């Protein structure tokens, strides 16, 4: 299983350091085949050591240059970061990242041999239209994306389940993952959206779920490690 923690705009450099120290303690009991990813805010990126991978929540598709407020490859290289989240619904919505931009970013970081966790997800009004509408919406988010890329991990995150406390049902996850797995040639597929210690076992037991991407419930190291060790 894959367990990925997306801190978003939470935690500082100091609190991330403390988190990592505690996480390392907890991960001694982790199953060797499970993989853990931590995506701290950009100011807390570092070359931490431990049984986990540090990734960046975002970066600009350039080595360096005049891109005020962004970080590029040069800043990631300093810490040996080779993993990136692309296409998160919050970036698509609040930062107006279009499919074209997400695809260009994907292509740039693919060329740099990054591991890419590529996020897709539908809003509530699409979910309410039914399964066909959901799949049509989700598949459009693969436009310009090389689904044959060997370092691709997909994260299905229904937008209406993110940060709302309301996870998708087992049935919704199961049917959506089954269809997505076919579309992405069985690439690793994570579920994200209100995953927490109380529902982790139920979610990771669903066929077609290869792991989870966790926001809110990852901020507390106790809660996140409880999920990893579940
Ligand atoms: C996310 O935004 O990636 C996410 C899954 O958030 P939460 O766990 O808070 O729903």
Per-residue model confidence (pLDDT) at position 23: 98
Tens digit of each residue's pLDDT (9 = 90 or more) over 207-228: 999 999 999 999 999 999 999 9
- CA end-to-end distance (rounded Å), the chain: 11
Mean pLDDT over each residue of the chain, to the nearest integer: 97
Distance 89 CA to ligand 1 centre (A): 10
Q: What pLDDT was estimated at residue 55?
A: 98
pLDDT confidence of 136, banded at 50, 70, 90? very high
For 74-106, the pLDDT digits (tens) are 999 999 999 999 999 999 999 999 999 999 999
Domain limits of the chain? Answer: 2-228
- Burial label for 62, CB within 10 Å (0-12, 13-18, 19+), is middle
pLDDT reported for residue 5:
98
pLDDT, tens only, 105-123: 999 999 999 999 999 999 9
The model carries a pTM of 0.97
Residue ranges in the chain assigned as alpha helix (H) = 13-26, 73-77, 89-94, 99-111, 124-127, 131-140, 170-183, 200-204, 221-228
| Sheet bearing 115-120, strands edge to edge | 53-54, 35-39, 2-6, 211-214, 189-192, 152-156, 115-120, 83-86
Q: Which of 161, 194, 203 to mutate to test the pocket of ligand 1 (most atoms within 8 A of CB)?
A: 194
**157 catalytically annotated:** yes
Distance, CA 6 to ligand 1 centroid (Å)?
Answer: 7
CA nearest 183: which of 135, 115, 114?
A: 135
- Supply the CATH classification number for the domain 2-228: 3.20.20.70
Q: How far apart are CA 47 and CA 62, in angstroms?
A: 21
Q: Tell me which of 90, 97, 122, 157 is the catalytic residue.
A: 157
- What is the structure's pLDDT at 166? 84
* pLDDT mean over 35-47: 98
Q: Is residue 165's pLDDT more than 90?
A: no
Name the least confident of 23-27, 165-169, 198-202, 208-212.
165-169
């Amino acid at each position: 299983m894959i367990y990925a923690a997306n801190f978003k705009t939470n935690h500082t450099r100091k609190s991330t350091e403390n988190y990592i120290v505690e996480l390392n303690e907890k991960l001694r009991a982790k199953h060797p085949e499970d993989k853990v990813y931590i995506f701290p805010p950009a100011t807390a990126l570092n070359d931490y050591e431990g049984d986990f991978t540090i990734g960046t929540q975002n970066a600009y598709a350039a080595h360096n240059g005049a891109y005020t407020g962004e970080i590029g490859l040069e800043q990631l290289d300093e810490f040996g970061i080779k993993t990136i989240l692309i296409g998160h619904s919050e970036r698509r919505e609040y930062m107006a990242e279009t499919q074209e931009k997400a695809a260009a970013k994907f292509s740039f970081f693919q060329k740099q041999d990054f591991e890419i966790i590529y996020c897709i997800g539908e809003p509530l009004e699409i979910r309410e239209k039914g399964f066909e509408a959901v799949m049509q919406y989700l598949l459009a988010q693969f436009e310009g994306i090389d689904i044959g890329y060997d370092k691709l991990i997909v994260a299905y995150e229904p937008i209406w389940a993110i940060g709302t406390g309301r996870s998708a049902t087992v049935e919704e996850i199961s049917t959506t993952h089954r269809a997505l797995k076919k579309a992405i040639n069985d690439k690793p597929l994570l579920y994200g959206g209100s995953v927490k210690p109380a529902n982790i076992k139920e979610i990771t037991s669903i066929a077609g779920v290869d792991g989870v991407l966790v926001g809110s419930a990852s901020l507390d190291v106790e809660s996140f490690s409880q999920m990893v060790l579940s």
